[in-house]
Amino acid sequence: MGTTDTSGPAPGRGAVVLALRRYGSELLRLRALALPALLLPAVGNIGIRYVAPLLIAKLAGQAADDGGLTLDSALPYVLAFGAVLLLAEVLWRIGLHCLNRVDALGMEHLYVSGMDELLAKDAAFFHDNFAGSLTKRVLSFGKRFEDFVDTLTYRIVGSLVPLAFGAVVLWSYEPMLVAGLLLMIALTVVAATPLIRRRQRLVDQREAAIARVSGHVADSLTNMETIRAFAAERREADEHRDRVADSRRLMLRSWDYGNLRVDVLIAPMSVLTNVLGLLVAVAFGGAGQGVEEIVVAFTYYSNATQIMFEFNQIYRRLESSMTEAAQFTELLLDPPTVLDPAEPEPLAPRDTGVRFEAVTFAHAGAEPIFRGLDLDVPAGARVGLVGRSGGGKTTLTRLLLRMSDIDAGRILIGGQDISRLRQGDLRSLIAYVPQEPAMFHRSLRDNIAFARPGATDAEIHAAAAAAHVTEFAGQLPDGFATLVGERGVKLSGGQRQRVALARAILRDAPVLLLDEATSALDSESELLVQDALWRLMEGRTALVVAHRLSTVAGMDRLVVLDRGRVVEQGSHGELLAADGAYAKLWRHQSGGFLGESTESTESTESTESTESMEDTENKEGTQGTEKAENAGRAGSTEGAGVAAVDPVPHARTSTGPT
């Protein structure tokens, strides 16, 4: 229950005003087309609804006066009648030609600018909003412009301008005709407004029920595997049926209210208005003008009372298009938080070292995960980041990429504060492999090439070979041209990781940021990929997150992160010798994953192991840092004698599980 991804509360006033402003400025931008688009159909309607009937009225008047008609006396009217209708059609065609362009050009611009605004949003925004809902909102924002402009053209300008013309003509016959008509329209609007408001509530309930249906369908379809695995098809179908029945009930209620309540009020008002018009025409029509005036009064009143029925629909259509547009503009009310500085520093790093200085950061609405964190990754160093799940490793890598902004402190790359660089410049320095690499539903080749537009085929294939993508690409139905499915579902977890590594290799950036880049690989594939990685790390600065300690044991320095704090750092050998938190983790792992043997303590919320880490920090905090300073440069010189037992070819300091 409650998967109402597409509904949510109705957008506020600010969002509706913003949507109106956006649509209004489109009309202004396209004014050379918008003006004829709005006015020509209205002028055409004057011809069809008011001028042509006026000619008929004049003809009837003439017939009454002359006691009959001859072809000669009727011909001018017939010709004028034809000319007016023809002209009206021409105006309509020109108007629609312009309207089509206003709709198409306006939508194009809104689709593009809407996407631009989403691309400017920060990572936190996409954590808070579902992709499905954003897709619907940004597309509706463009699409609803058509409804808005069409309603404005056909229903509002197209009705009101001719009505004003009709009023002027009626006035020339008899001012009372105008007074009567306007009075009746005003009375109807006043009487119908509360009913339309009440209907609005029913319509909102109906729309919410429809959104509950689509939310459930989307949720079920994305979780199809889980439904199958738990044999829950029947349950999901029943839930769907209930929701559809609920929306049918609410749909009928709102439609019935429109037909049985709103129109039941408007219909007699409309009849009354028409009768009144006829009465006024008869009562006030002078002897000579009688027939003509009665025909004019009848047709004009009958046209005008149509508007009474349309009033309900106009309101509804404008309201629904503006509500949908506002569901997008409400996303724009909060500007993105991660922005390029007004005057960015030119990119001029003195080296590729990375420093976190007294960094404090909290995820929105959560307790700070880092408080005054310091971490130094000297240029050219290979640093492994390890620690218990949830300790903040991924968060740290994402802060370096500036996916979110920190609350205090500084992050430096090559001595430059990353918040003073352009985001694009900063990220051009970093090759990143995320913990859960996502794929585009594009070809395997395009997924790799994404890392560097303009890369040659040879470069792409070299990267693919280095990341051992080539092996499995050969087995895919279309090789490198195979589409990998939504989010890459047609690839295995390990294959996706290899594609992500190929991207990083192709990116060829000076700083490598690997978050569990090889976690989904079996030991044998990992061995192969590690080989490529070590070669890639040559001459670069690398920050490598891994749960499998054997993956990082050979790094120049290891940093143990727990609950957002660096509890230990040093080389593998040093940390084992220190017999602290890392040594304990290492003992828990026999070539497997961190946490496998500590799971029971973690899941029962026991703080035993955490406490022991904190003890370690108190005892060894400073010592660890000193060691780290040395280890940063000296990692490759020690422990060669024990490398034989290490599962990682390049691990130079490992003593293996003890």
Ligand X SMILES: Nc1ncnc2c1ncn2[C@@H]1O[C@H](COP(=O)(O)OP(=O)(O)OP(=O)(O)O)[C@@H](O)[C@H]1O
Runs of H (alpha helix) within 120-232: 123-128, 131-150, 158-173, 175-222, 224-229
Q: Which stretch binds ligand X (CB under 6 A): 4-12, 256-264, 387-395, 437-445?
A: 387-395
Strands (E), 363-467: 368-377, 382-386, 408-413, 416-417, 430-433
Q: Return the number of the residue (395 or 443) whose C-beta is nearest ligand X.
A: 395
Q: Return the number of the residue (379 or 560) whose C-beta is nearest ligand X.
A: 560
Residue 587 interface partner, choices Mg ion, ligand X, none, CB cut-off 5-8 Å depending on type: none
366 binds ligand X (CB under 6 A): yes
Q: Which stretch binds ligand X (CB under 6 A): 28-36, 144-152, 388-396, 445-453?
A: 388-396
Give the 3-state secondary structure of residue 469: coil
443 binds ligand X (CB under 6 A): no
Give the 3-state secondary structure of residue 455: coil
395 binds ligand X (CB under 6 A): yes
Q: Which of 390, 415, 485, 591 binds ligand X (CB under 6 A)?
A: 390
Contact 92, 43 (CB under 8 A): no
Spatial distance between the Cα atoms of 337 and 552, rounded to a whole number of angstroms = 34
Q: Return the number of the residue (294 or 433) whose C-beta is nearest ligand X.
A: 433
Q: Return the number of the residue (278 or 520) whose C-beta is nearest ligand X.
A: 520
Minimum CB separation from Mg ion for residue 153, in Å?
54
Among 181, 174, 215, smallest CA distance to 304 is for 181
Residue 523 interface partner, choices Mg ion, ligand X, none, CB cut-off 5-8 Å depending on type: none
Minimum CB separation from ligand X for residue 554, in Å?
20
Q: Which of 93, 241, 363, 633 binds ligand X (CB under 6 A)?
A: 363
Q: Return the number of the residue (76 or 390) whose C-beta is nearest Mg ion.
A: 390
CB atoms within 10 A of CB 287: 5
369 binds ligand X (CB under 6 A): yes
Q: Return the number of the residue (343 or 605) whose C-beta is nearest ligand X.
A: 605
Q: Which of 113, 394, 470, 482 binds ligand X (CB under 6 A)?
A: 394
Minimum CB separation from Mg ion for residue 546, in Å?
10
Element (H or E) spanning 608, and its range? helix 608-634
Minimum CB separation from Mg ion for residue 383, in Å?
16
68-72-73 Cα angle (round to 5): 50
435 binds ligand X (CB under 6 A): yes
317 binds ligand X (CB under 6 A): no
Minimum CB separation from ligand X for residue 435, in Å?
6
Supply the DSSP symbol for 75.
Answer: H
Minimum CB separation from Mg ion for residue 394, in Å?
3
394 binds Mg ion (CB under 5 A): yes
Query: What distances in angstroms separate CA 474 from CA 265, 455, 480, 487, one per listed residue?
Result: 72, 21, 8, 21
Minimum CB separation from ligand X for residue 401, in Å?
13
Minimum CB separation from ligand X for residue 362, in Å?
9
Span 122-151, contacts to ligand X by CB under 6 A? 127
Residue 127 interface partner, choices ligand X, Mg ion, none, CB cut-off 5-8 Å depending on type: ligand X
Strands (E), 501-614: 511-515, 541-545, 557-562, 565-570
- Beta pairing class for 557-562 and 565-570: antiparallel
Contact 400, 430 (CB under 8 A): yes
Q: Which stretch binds Mg ion (CB under 5 A): 84-92, 127-135, 428-436, 589-597?
A: 428-436
Which contacts of 177-185 are long-range, i.e. CB under 8 A and separated by 24 or more positions?
177/277, 177/280, 177/281, 177/284, 177/297, 177/300, 180/273, 180/276, 180/277, 180/280, 181/273, 181/277, 181/300, 181/301, 181/304, 184/269, 184/272, 184/273, 184/276, 184/305, 185/273, 185/304, 185/307, 185/308
The residues binding Mg ion (CB under 5 A) are 393-394, 435
Which residues bind to ligand X, rule: CB under 6 A? 127, 363, 366, 369, 389-395, 435
